Structure 1
Amino acid sequence: MSSALVITIMIALIMILLFVGAPVKPMKFIGQTTVKLGIGVLFLFFFNVFGGVIGLHIPINLFTTVVSGFLGLFGVASLAAIHLFII
């Protein structure tokens, strides 16, 4: 497939979405989920920066990001407790 055809298809899809509009509920759900996952990554990053001083480290992967993103600071605390007491 040539690059001109791909670009034309992408522009056509963008124009259709601009005129018709994207469905609101799925886009809102995807946006909120993305923001929560981003916040989860930031929580884990700062926990690893400050927890590294006392020897705590939680790996940043999909599972820990989802737990910390959707549960917030309680999720990070539970992951730290699991790391301390179980692992």
Structure 2
Amino acid sequence: MGLELEMEVIVAYVVGLVIIYVVGYALYKIFKKPLKLLGMLVFNGILGGMALLFVNFIGGFFDFSIAVNPITALVAGFLGIPGIVLMILLNTVL
């Protein structure tokens, strides 16, 4: 009788591990694209912030600066050089 109980416990563990694997794989498939998008958003925001710091460094010689905040960093990160030029134009016009 002790061997049967151990076999039931082993089968229960195996079934539990298979269920965890299947659910984990399904969650991985569901959240793969949103997490990748979030990672790209963070990466582009960091690059945009660095670009704005560079523009502010160069603009310091001409008494010019753009505020570095999450919105401007994301605009610079997503749009790249045209986004930075747009913010420079908006800053000089407004």
TM-score, normalised to structure 1's length?
A: 0.71
Counterpart position of 1:6: none
Secondary structure of the residue aligned to 1:59 is: coil
Query: For this pair of structures, how many residues does the alignment match?
Result: 70
Q: Find the counterpart in structure 2 of residue 39 from structure 1.
A: 47
Q: Tell me how large the CA RMSD over aligned residues is.
A: 2.0
Cα distance per residue 1:21-75 (max 9 Å; x no partner): 5321111111111111011101101000111101110010122112111111111
Unaligned runs of 5+ in 1: 1-15
Query: 1:43 and 1:81 mapped to 2: Cα distance?
Result: 16
Q: Corresponding residue for 1:20?
A: 24
TM-score for the superposition, normalised by structure 2: 0.66
Give 4+ residue runs of structure 1 displaced > 6 Å after superposition: none
Structure 1 or 2, whichever has the larger Rg, is 2
Q: Which runs of 5+ in 2 are unaligned?
A: 1-19
